Structure 1
Amino acid sequence: MSAPLRANPINAPHIIDRAVVRSHAKRGERLADRAFALAFRGLVYAQIWEDPVVDMAALEIAPDSRIVTIASGSCNALSYLVADPAQITAVDLNTAHIALGRLKYAAFRHLPDYESLRRFFVEADNKANLAAYRQYLTPHLDEPTRRYWEGRDLAGRKRIGGFASGIYKRGLLGNFIGMAHLVARLYRVDLRAILDAQSIEDQRRIFDEKIAPVFDKRFIRWLTNQPASLYGLGIPPAQFDALAGDQRMANVLRARLEKLACDFAVGENYFAWQAFNRGYGKGPDAPLPPYLQPANYAKVRDRIDRIDWRHVNFTDHLREQPDTSLDRYILLDAQDWMSDEQLTDLWQQITRTARPGARVLFRTAAEETLLPGRVPDETLSHWDYSEAEARDLIRADRSSIYGGLHLYRFKG
């Protein structure tokens, strides 16, 4: 399959505007949406924040599965290759995410060995990566991808330089996490301390004594109550209220961070390392996403041509597919942004293209599924949903930042 490096016309910011800006909202809300859309045009996630291990367990990917997923940082799309599907299409509105996915594709195809790949994407802060980029990757990149990585960010830095100085410290989320570390230090708290914990009980003690009290500070409670302050988490204004519910945002964020810090051993949770270390651990036993684990290197490399990256709206992509042609749909949290009309259009296309046994997996800022009452019953009647299963799934998700994780099964 040669499609992964197809040169799509990827400079189309109106695609993001159309997805994010609420046309029927008040003027002030539309301005906030446009501010978020502007921020979202650059790199947001150098690493995706959905747990692929939970995804694969829920999806039960089979050898004939044809998957459509939102790409984001492409960590999960690449990790799904471990389950040996027939085909994966990774779509995204964000040009930077498409460029990152295609760079990862080229790295698996053309870097000489696992050690080179590990240095590039696990360490991700070694000047030798720039030489590897020039020698092994540049000749094989499509022109838009090469132009993106050799272009400069708002600080005037070449984007590919992120792999010599810590790519996980860049992007909207990387900058947000860096700011969180800075604010914590102002209160004399070192967030990295939790990574030295020797047990879950030790993690709990450090969180309760050091981290939790920061969320009670007056400035933090004010700051986190401003929707713009959470743009760095990839949370648009339309999702802010769903995330907060009837609580103060500081309390919600404390609860989500508490789960990340205390519910899973840090030695087994690479999401905790990204949050508290601003990058993966470099030790030989440090936790990594499935696609970067040495035991999976050969599988991912040998199956890498099964992925196709496309800069397109998810619903628009489905509109181009034949009836009963797809098996697995992964929507991340994109539906939190959508109007009722957009949700209905999306689910009508999902239902039309679903093959027998198809599954849809998505996350929400709030705990409950958002579909009933917003998508017509006629469409949802084709799908089975279990609230109990949803609660089990979200408890297992190590990233810990979402309120709900939902799985729908196609009845036909």
Structure 2
Amino acid sequence: MSSTAQAQLDAAVLQQGDAATGRLERLFSRLFLGLVYPQIWEDPVVDMEALEIAPGDNLVCIASGSCNVLSYLTASPASVTAVDLSPAHVALGRLKLAAAQTLPDYAAFYQFFGHAGMAGNAELYDRYVRSGLDGSTRAFWDSRQPFHRRISLFGKGFYRYGLLGRFLGAVHLIARLGRVDFAPLLTARSLAEQTAFFDTRIAPLFDMWLVRKLAGFRASLFGLGIPPAQYDKLAADGNGDVLPVLRERVRKLMCDFPVRDNYFAWQAFARCYDPAPDGSLPPYLQQRNFAALRNNADRGRIENRSLTGLLADQAKGSKHGYVLLDAQDWMNDEQLNALWREITRTAAPGARVIFRTGGTEDILPGRVRPEILARWAYDAEKSASGTAQDRSAIYGGFHLYRFQG
């Protein structure tokens, strides 16, 4: 599976740029074989509002950490089919789907994925979940890396692992060098307190020599799952300098939403979910949604392949919603047009496509062939609203297209 997955990743990432860029792209491709996102970094609440999920809808999406897949299932669509080029992401998503069906109750499910750092989680896996997995997924979580089974990560603080988890660990190290303690942010009682914390404690970090130096390397954002092509789009928003773009997105994450309502802020600055009984959680982890998730989990499916390849095997007019995450930022024009040909062929009347971009602008006009794009209508109002409401704050733009037939 590794050689096939590597070939798929190379096809997605390698854009045949200059030699230095090519070396970075090859490194990124190899890193992406492993776990990148222990938690997805797109807000599923924004997604679900834009998708307007209805019974009977068949959705397709990119899995990443699969918080989106499971959250969509709580809305009771007919199916959610997800793909990911990382075998680790596929294994994580399949683990979540199986756990929703096999763990005895919500308390066990929340312990496993909400705490994700309790010693008893490996026992829960062995007793309930393991037998419900397919062979390759079971082998992935049973394998030793290097001294303990992979599943033991759920007893050690799972969200601290993967490229994103380690990137956030590095962020905390830099914060400690700047003598920053995030506790006042996490206990703030108003947006004004959060903004004051950013202005006095965080903004000065962006003037540190170390931060400015690191931000200048395109590989520095690999931990956010950002390849060289997407780094360049971010830098373009800052007139060639990525640092002011990062500063503004950190400000949005810290200041634009009440911290008690933003689990992305908790993951970034506490490296866990808010442990309070009413703490913010993704939809799939909320107790009120557990019964629907359990009932619908068998409608979810995750495959290790490209989205274009998956859609090529689907019937004409069979899909109602498409979630592309930020994958199009990685694509050249040929790949982009191949994807949208399949999206257009498989779209049912009124189908919705949502995606995010590292930069602020919609990347489709001028790149997707006019005869394809003319069959879709861009929803500027919903796109602007989604951009403003996305609590993860990492992307420059959220975009929604509707199929016109």
Same fold by TM-score greater than 0.5 = yes
- 1:130-169 alignment, distance < 5 Å: 130-153=122-145, 156-169=147-160
Whether the 8 Å contact between 2:379 and 2:402 is mirrored in structure 1 is no
Structure 1 residue 193, shift from structure 2 partner: 3.0
Does the C-alpha gap of structure 1 residues 157 and 332 become closer, same or farther in structure 2, counting only changes over 3 Å? same
1:90 aligns with 2:95: no
**Which residue of the partner structure matches residue 35 of structure 2?**
43
Q: Secondary structure at the match of 1:255?
A: helix
- 1:306-385 alignment, distance < 5 Å: 306-385=299-378
**Normalising by structure 2, what TM-score?**
0.97
Q: Secondary structure at the match of 1:35?
A: helix
**Which residue of the partner structure matches residue 4 of structure 1?**
none
Structure 1 residue 139, shift from structure 2 partner: 1.6
Task: Find the aligned partners of 2:297 and 2:389 in 1 and give their Cα distance.
Answer: 27
**Which residue of the partner structure matches residue 235 of structure 1?**
226
Whether the 8 Å contact between 1:329 and 1:360 is mirrored in structure 2 is yes
Task: Find the aligned partners of 1:241 and 1:230 in 2 and give their Cα distance.
Answer: 11
**Which residue of the partner structure matches residue 271 of structure 1?**
264
Q: Secondary structure at the match of 1:329?
A: strand
Task: Find the aligned partners of 1:314 and 1:218 in 2 and give their Cα distance.
Answer: 41
Q: Secondary structure at the match of 1:286?
A: coil
Q: Percent identity?
A: 51
**Which residue of the partner structure matches residue 390 of structure 1?**
383
Task: Find the aligned partners of 2:337 and 2:112 in 1 and give their Cα distance.
Answer: 41
Task: Find the aligned partners of 1:136 and 1:64 in 2 and give their Cα distance.
Answer: 30
Structure 1 runs (4+) greater than 6 angstroms displaced? none
Structure 1 residue 188, shift from structure 2 partner: 0.6
Alignment partner of 2:283 out of 264, 286, 290: 290
Q: Secondary structure at the match of 2:5?
A: coil
**Which residue of the partner structure matches residue 257 of structure 1?**
250
Task: Find the aligned partners of 1:333 and 1:156 in 2 and give their Cα distance.
Answer: 35
Task: Find the aligned partners of 2:3 and 2:25 in 1 and give their Cα distance.
Answer: 21
Alignment partner of 1:55 out of 47, 54, 57: 47
Residue-by-residue CA offset, 1:326-385 (whole Å, 9 max, x unaligned) = 110000000000000000000011001111010100000001110111111010000001
Task: Find the aligned partners of 1:103 and 1:372 in 2 and give their Cα distance.
Answer: 38
Query: Which deviates more from structure 2 when the two are superposed, residues 189-198 or residues 217-226?
Result: 189-198
Q: Secondary structure at the match of 1:83?
A: coil
Task: Find the aligned partners of 1:193 and 1:157 in 2 and give their Cα distance.
Answer: 36
Task: Find the aligned partners of 1:201 and 1:10 in 2 and give their Cα distance.
Answer: 51
Task: Find the aligned partners of 1:11 and 1:127 in 2 and give their Cα distance.
Answer: 34
Structure 1 residue 82, shift from structure 2 partner: 2.0
**Which residue of the partner structure matches residue 108 of structure 2?**
116
Structure 1 residue 392, shift from structure 2 partner: 1.7
CA RMSD of aligned residues (A): 1.3
Task: Find the aligned partners of 2:76 and 2:97 in 1 and give their Cα distance.
Answer: 16
Task: Find the aligned partners of 1:331 and 1:257 in 2 and give their Cα distance.
Answer: 23
Q: Secondary structure at the match of 1:12?
A: helix
Whether the 8 Å contact between 2:75 and 2:292 is mirrored in structure 1 is no
Structure 1 residue 138, shift from structure 2 partner: 1.5
Task: Find the aligned partners of 2:336 and 2:63 in 1 and give their Cα distance.
Answer: 19
1:221 aligns with 2:212: yes
Task: Find the aligned partners of 1:362 and 1:225 in 2 and give their Cα distance.
Answer: 27
Q: Secondary structure at the match of 1:115?
A: helix
Does the C-alpha gap of structure 1 residues 156 and 21 become closer, same or farther in structure 2, counting only changes over 3 Å? farther
Query: Which deviates more from structure 2 when the two are superposed, residues 10-19 or residues 227-236?
Result: 10-19
**Which residue of the partner structure matches residue 402 of structure 2?**
409
Structure 1 residue 401, shift from structure 2 partner: 0.4
Aligned length, in residue pairs = 403
Task: Find the aligned partners of 2:401 and 2:147 in 1 and give their Cα distance.
Answer: 45
Structure 1 residues not aligned, in runs of 5+: 1-7
**Normalising by structure 1, what TM-score?**
0.95
Residue-by-residue CA offset, 1:204-248 (whole Å, 9 max, x unaligned) = 111111111101112211111101110000000010010111142
Structure 1 residue 249, shift from structure 2 partner: 1.6
Structure 1 residue 266, shift from structure 2 partner: 0.7
Task: Find the aligned partners of 1:174 and 1:9 in 2 and give their Cα distance.
Answer: 22
Task: Find the aligned partners of 1:286 and 1:372 in 2 and give their Cα distance.
Answer: 40
Letter in 2 for 1:167: F
